[in-house]
Amino acid sequence: MAYYYPEPSHTFSEYLLIPGYTSEDCVPDHVSLKTPLVKYRKGAEEPAISLNVPLTSAVMQSVSNDTLAIALAKEGGISFIYGSQSIENQAAMVARVKGYKAGFVTSASNLTPEATLADVLALKQRNGFSTVALTEDGTANGKLLGIVTSRDYRVSRMAPTDKVRDFMTPRQKLVTAPAETTLKEANDIIWEHKLNSLPIVDENDHLLYFVFRKDYSSHKDNPLELLDSKKRYLVGAGINTRDYAARIPALLEAGADVLVIDSSEGYTCWQEKTIKWVRDTYGDTVKIGAGNVVDKDGFRFLAEAGADFVKVGIGGSICITRETKGIGRGQATALIEVAAARDEYFKETGIYVPICSDGGIVHDYHMTLALAMGADFLMLGRYFARFDESPTNKVMVNGAYMKEYWGEGSNRARNWQRYDLGGSAKLSFEEGVDSYVTYAGPLRDNVEASLYKVKSTMCNVGVTNIPDLQQNAKLTLVSSVSIVEGGYHDVTLRSSSPVK
C-alpha cells in the first residue's frame, strides 16, 4: 500500500520567525553570512570552498552566463554556468570568468561599420549601453575599426538608414592601450585624455576590453569577493548524466572550481554513476554537487554516493514539474526534512554535507526562512534573471521594462538532459515555461538590499551567523487569516488613490 504523509507539505509563506533577544552587538554590520559550499569532516578548520554570502545562481540559459558569474562572485556568491550548450561554449564562459580582470569590461555591444543608426539604437534599447564597439567581424574581440557613442549621432538630424561608418569615431582617432596595461595606468590615461572609455587592444589590434571613466569609483576592492588562491573569481558549472566524461575534463581545464549535476530529480542511478565516475577519475579533488531531492531518503542516497552538496526542491516558479508529472513537495517541508537528515548523517559519519534550497524563494524574507530551516545556501533563478548582468534581453511589455526568463524544461531551452530518465535523447513534454520577469537593475544594488534584510531579520532573532540561526531560530506555522493580517489591510494606499 502506498505511504501517505500525515501532514500536508508547506511553503515558506506559511511560516514566520519568532523574535529573540537582541543585544547591543547584534546589529547588521556584525552579521556574517559565510557558509560552506562543499562537504567537510568534523574538526576540519575550513571546507575546501566556502561562500561569503549564501547565494548561488541557477543552472539556466536565462540566468547564469559569464557576466552574471563575475557580478555575483564580486558580491561573495557563485554562479553555475549553464550546461545546455556545447561543451566548447560552456568551457569558454568558465574561462572568461577565470580570466576576468577587475575594471576591464568585455564589450557587450558590438557591430560592424556596415550597420546602421537603427542598429545602434536597437542595441542601446536592448542592453542599455551607449558605447558600441565597431569591429571587423562585429564581435567583442574582433579587429577594432572604431567606436560609436551617443556623442557621435543626433537622431533628430539623421536617417535610421545612415551607415555607422559615416558617423563613427574611426580607429585612427581613438586613444587605446596595450594588453599589459594595469587598471591604474588605464585610469591615468582616461583622466589625462578626458576620455569616457579606453579600448584595450592586443598586438594585432583586436579589442580585448574597455575601461570606463564611470566605473572608476567601483574599482575599489569588494570586501566579500569570492576568489581562488590565484586571486581569480570562483565559478561553478552545470553538467548532465549523459556527456559528463567529455564535458567535465573540458570544464576543469577551463578552470571550473565546482560542478553540479543539473537535474529536476536526483534520486537516480544515473547521478550515482556520474558521481562514481568523478571519484574514480579525480578522487576528492573535484567538487561536485547533486540533486534535486525532497526527502531524507534522497539526501542519504546522494550523500552516500559521494556528493559534495545536495540540492533540495522540485517544482515552482519557472518549473512546472509538479503540475505536469505530479511529483514534488512544498519547499519548506522538503527543506526541514532534508536538513534533519543532514544533521543525522553528520552525527553518524562526522561528514557535514551542505544542502542548497533550490526554488520557492518569492520574497526576500523567504531567504532568511530557508536559512533558518537548515539551508546552508540558496540557488535562485528568477531573482537573478531580473538583473542587468543576466544574459537575456530587456524588453518593454505593457509599458514596463521586463527581462526574458525561460525554464530549462521549456520548448525554448529544450534541455532534455536535465529531465533524462535513460530514454530517447529528446524533450518529450515541457516541464518549464517561457516568460518575463520585472527588470530590477544592477545585481549589486539588489543583492545588497536583499542581504541587508536577511541580516536585519537575523538580528531580530538574536543571532549574527548562519549556524546560530539554524540552531536558535524559532518558527511558527501561520493560518491563512494571519497571513492576511500580516500585510496591509483595511486601508487605501496613497499611491493608488485618485486624489483630486
Would you say 161 and 147 are in contact if contact means Cβ atoms under 8 Å apart? no
Going by C-alpha positions, the residue among 90, 71, 142 that lies closest to residue 112 is 142
| DSSP-based three-state secondary structure for 415 | coil
User: Has 418 been annotated as catalytic?
Assistant: yes
| C-alpha–C-alpha distance, residues 426 and 429, integer Å | 9
Kindly name the residue from 96, 247, 300, 319 that is annotated as catalytic.
319
C-alpha to C-alpha distance for 389 and 366, rounded to whole angstroms: 23
Helices (H), 176-295: 183-193, 244-254, 269-282
Buried b (16+ CB within 10 A) or exposed e, 84-120: bbebeebbebbbbbbebebbbbbbbbbbbbebbbebb
Amino acid at 205: D
Q: Which of 96, 247, 329, 418 is catalytic?
A: 418
Query: Which of 69, 86, 87 is closest to 78 using CA atoms?
Result: 69
Sign for the pseudo-dihedral over CA of 124, 127, 133, 134: negative
Contact criterion met (CB below 8 Å) for 375 and 383: no
The contacts of residue 361 (CB under 8 Å, 6+ apart) are 12, 367, 370, 378, 380, 383
Distance CA 163, CA 339 (A): 60
Residue type, 50: S
Q: Where in the sequence numbering do the catalytic residues fall?
A: 319, 418
